[in-house]
Amino acid sequence: MAENVVVPTDIILAPNEYGHSAFEHVDQLDFLNDSDGGLPFFHRVESSEVVYQPRRKKAKMVGKYLVGDLLGEGSYGKVKEVIDTVTLCRRAVKILKKRKLRKIPNGEQNVLREIQLLKRLHHKHVVFLDDVIFNDEKQKMYIFMEYCVCELQEMLESAQDKKFPIFQAHYYFKQLVEGLIFLHSRGIVHKDIKPGNLLLARDETLKITDFGVAEEIALHAFDDTCHTSQGSPAFQPPEIANGEDSFPGFKVDVWSSGVTLYNMTTGKYPYDGDNIYKLFNNISKGTYTIPDSIDSVLTNLLHGMLAFTPDKRMSIEQVQLHDWVRKRHPRSLDYVKFPPFKEGLDKHHSMSVMQYLDDLHCPEEEECDEYEEDFHIQQNNGKKPQNDVDDTPIPDPKHKKRKTKSGLLSSCKQS
């Protein structure tokens, strides 16, 4: 009978922090049958001998972009962090599967419309589209955009009472108005303005995103009349809630910006309802209240933006000239900061591509050996050297890494 063994419980039970069992890394588990062919037993292993190693993240390139970690997921697909290996700019990529798009009503059409629009829109407050790559073989589409830290919605959710202090709401709202003035000047109706479609760059510049349901008014159109809307229900104006066939487009964006401002300053919505029918019913009645905590100047602006009929509603230019927008608002200490990334693990929103760069440029030991051998073959005019007669100096590791860089770049998984 073999010696009695103690198996550390952390080996047996606990998958490690990287989600796999220690046995994937440590080869000590040895099943042996005793002489009677009875139960298998284990070799003794001390907990201190167990080495947890994070699984090495495999680098993946899409064109010139090195792909990093997941940033988030929307109904259309995943968004990952990337780095442009030429400009070294930090970017985000939306990865869309054609199969999934076909299942979403107007999915493909919305995405293509968004790409067409964004390609032509260059403004400080509109998310910048860097590149689009199609992979026909994988039936995937990659949309590369400027990297942003978070959505305004995420910030609101992390804030006490789900609202911003007035000076902070003012700071973001002013930028939203500037972005909308630009869009409207280009004949674009966004149609889905809401905190979830407003991103913040690291320097807190606001970026309007998600042009999937936006509409471009025809160049020679008589006015901004629109006929369709697919925006988020809580942000829709009465003319849409009432199901009108046509409505002035730009005033839809004014209304939804008014709801956004209401939400940022009160933590609530002017209209709500348990379901879309009740919500639209409430919107179409046109009765809402503004909490007493809101001062009279802001109340005046909100009433102007949430006017029931589009012709009574302010235009975005009037909004920009309103006293509340032009006024300087004193900073207060209850400033809402960017919420930490990955459930509190990373409050600095650090770049996730570093580990993948590591995979690209610092090969694992066995890879090093392969490249070392390649190096010798190159030095010997294509012949494999005999170790005992070879007097080629072993390349210094730094040199070796530099030499292998291009090889690694091309060997890494391409999409």
Ligand X SMILES: Nc1ncnc2c1ncn2[C@@H]1O[C@H](COP(=O)(O)OP(=O)(O)OP(=O)(O)O)[C@@H](O)[C@H]1O
Contact region with ligand X (CB under 6 A), list: 16-24, 144-152, 166-174, 282-290: 144-152
Q: How many residues interact with ligand X (rule CB under 6 A)? A: 18
Binding ligand X by CB under 6 A: which of 54, 72, 291, 397?
72
Binding ligand X by CB under 6 A: which of 15, 74, 291, 397?
74
Q: Which residues contact 128 (CB under 8 A, 6 or more apart)?
A: 122, 145, 146, 207
- How far apart, in whole angstroms, are the C-alpha atoms of residue 259 and residue 303? 10
The residues that are catalytic are 192
182 counts as binding ligand X under rule CB under 6 A: no
> Is 94 flagged in the annotation as binding?
yes
- How far apart, in whole angstroms, are the C-alpha atoms of residue 331 and residue 287? 32
Binding ligand X by CB under 6 A: which of 62, 66, 67, 92?
92
Contact region with ligand X (CB under 6 A), list: 47-55, 73-81, 169-177, 375-383: 73-81
For 20-153, strand residue ranges (E) read 60-62, 65-73, 77-84, 90-97, 129-135, 140-146, 150-151
Residue 72 vs 397, nearer CB to ligand X: 72
Residue 72 vs 291, nearer CB to ligand X: 72
Binding ligand X by CB under 6 A: which of 22, 62, 66, 79?
79
Nearest to 310 by CA among 246, 260, 266, 368: 246
148 counts as binding ligand X under rule CB under 6 A: yes
Residue 11 vs 67, nearer CB to ligand X: 67
Contact region with ligand X (CB under 6 A), list: 66-74, 113-121, 174-182, 373-381: 66-74
| Minimum CB–partner distance for residue 374 and ligand X (Å) | 39
First to last CA, the chain: 55
141 counts as binding ligand X under rule CB under 6 A: no
DSSP SS3 for 61 = strand
Sign of the CA dihedral running 248, 265, 278, 306: negative
| Minimum CB–partner distance for residue 7 and ligand X (Å) | 43
| Minimum CB–partner distance for residue 170 and ligand X (Å) | 24
| Minimum CB–partner distance for residue 294 and ligand X (Å) | 28
Binding ligand X by CB under 6 A: which of 71, 118, 208, 264?
71
| Minimum CB–partner distance for residue 272 and ligand X (Å) | 19
147 counts as binding ligand X under rule CB under 6 A: yes
151 counts as binding ligand X under rule CB under 6 A: yes
Nearest to 267 by CA among 214, 341, 322, 334: 334
Long-range CB pairs of 275-281, under 8 A, 24+ apart, other chains included: 276/233, 279/233, 279/234, 279/241, 280/233, 280/236, 280/241, 280/242, 281/241
DSSP SS3 for 216 = strand
Closest-approach residue to ligand X (CB): 74
| Minimum CB–partner distance for residue 73 and ligand X (Å) | 6
Cβ 265 vs Cβ 164: under 8 Å: yes
Helix 397-411, helix 365-379: angle, nearest 10: 100
Binding ligand X by CB under 6 A: which of 141, 145, 188, 319?
145
DSSP SS3 for 413 = strand
Query: What values do phi and psi take at 195, rounded to 5?
Result: -55, -30
Nearest to 27 by CA among 43, 15, 41: 43
224 counts as binding ligand X under rule CB under 6 A: no
Contact region with ligand X (CB under 6 A), list: 42-50, 74-82, 305-313, 346-354: 74-82
Q: Is 90 exposed, middle or buried (0-12, 13-18, 19+ CB in 10 A)?
A: middle
349 counts as binding ligand X under rule CB under 6 A: no
- How far apart, in whole angstroms, are the C-alpha atoms of residue 128 and residue 126? 6
Binding ligand X by CB under 6 A: which of 141, 159, 199, 316?
199
Contact region with ligand X (CB under 6 A), list: 65-73, 242-250, 326-334, 382-390: 65-73
Binding ligand X by CB under 6 A: which of 75, 275, 386, 410?
75
Q: Is 383 exposed, middle or buried (0-12, 13-18, 19+ CB in 10 A)?
A: exposed
Q: Which amino acid is at 360?
A: L
- Binding site residues, as ranges? 94
- Binding site residues for ATP, as ranges? 94
- Residues in the site for ligand X, rule: CB under 6 A? 71-76, 79, 92, 94, 127, 145-148, 151, 196, 199, 210
